[in-house]
Amino acid sequence: MSATAEHKDKLRFNKLQKKLRRETGKAIADFDMIQDGDKIMVCLSGGKDSYTMLEILRNLQHNAPVRFELIAVNLDQKQPDFPEHVLPEYLEEQGVPYYILERDTYSIVKEKVPEGKTMCALCSRLRRGNLYSFAREIGATKVALGHHRDDMVETLFLNMFFNGKMKAMPPKLRSDDDKNIVIRPLAYSREKDIAEFAEWKEFPIIPCNLCGSQENLQRQAVKAMLNDWDRQYPGRVESIFKAMQNVAPSQLADPELFDFAGLEAGVEVDTPPADDRLNVVNLTGR
pLDDT single digits (tens) 142-182: 999 999 999 999 999 999 999 999 999 999 999 887 889 99
What total number of domains does the chain contain? Answer: 1
- CATH number of domain containing 94: 3.40.50.620
* pLDDT (0 to 100) of residue 109: 79
Domain assignment of residue 57, yes or no: yes
Domain assignment of residue 31, yes or no: yes
Query: Which residues are CB-neighbours of 191 under 8 A, at least 6 positions away?
Result: 49, 148, 149, 150, 151
* pLDDT (0 to 100) of residue 116: 65
Residue 90's closest CA among 74, 113, 66?
74
Domain assignment of residue 272, yes or no: no
**Cα separation of 50 and 198, whole Å?**
10
**Cα separation of 240 and 12, whole Å?**
27
Domain assignment of residue 259, yes or no: no
Domain assignment of residue 164, yes or no: yes
Domain assignment of residue 28, yes or no: yes
Count Cβ atoms within 10 A of the Cβ of residue 81 and give its class: 0-12 exposed, 13-18 middle, 19 or more buried. exposed
* pLDDT (0 to 100) of residue 281: 38
* pLDDT (0 to 100) of residue 126: 85
pLDDT over 80 at 36, yes or no: yes
Query: Which residues are CB-neighbours of 102 under 8 A, at least 6 positions away?
Result: 76, 78
Query: Which residues are CB-neighbours of 190 under 8 A, at least 6 positions away?
Result: 148, 149, 150, 237
Q: Are strands 142-144 and 38-43 parallel, antiparallel or unpaired?
A: parallel
**Cα separation of 70 and 269, whole Å?**
49
Coil, strand or helix at 84 = coil
Phi, psi of 208 (to 5 degrees): -95, 10
Coil, strand or helix at 255 = coil
Domain assignment of residue 220, yes or no: no
Q: Return the axis-axis angle of helices 191-201 and 48-63, rounded to nearest 10°.
A: 80
* pLDDT (0 to 100) of residue 283: 36
* pLDDT tens track for 96-139: 999 999 988 878 877 777 776 676 777 778 888 899 999 999 99
Domain of 47, in residue numbers? 3-214
Average pLDDT, the chain: 88
pLDDT-derived band at 78, boundaries 50, 70, 90 = confident
Domain assignment of residue 36, yes or no: yes
pLDDT average, residue stretch 196-219:
80
pLDDT-derived band at 278, boundaries 50, 70, 90 = very low
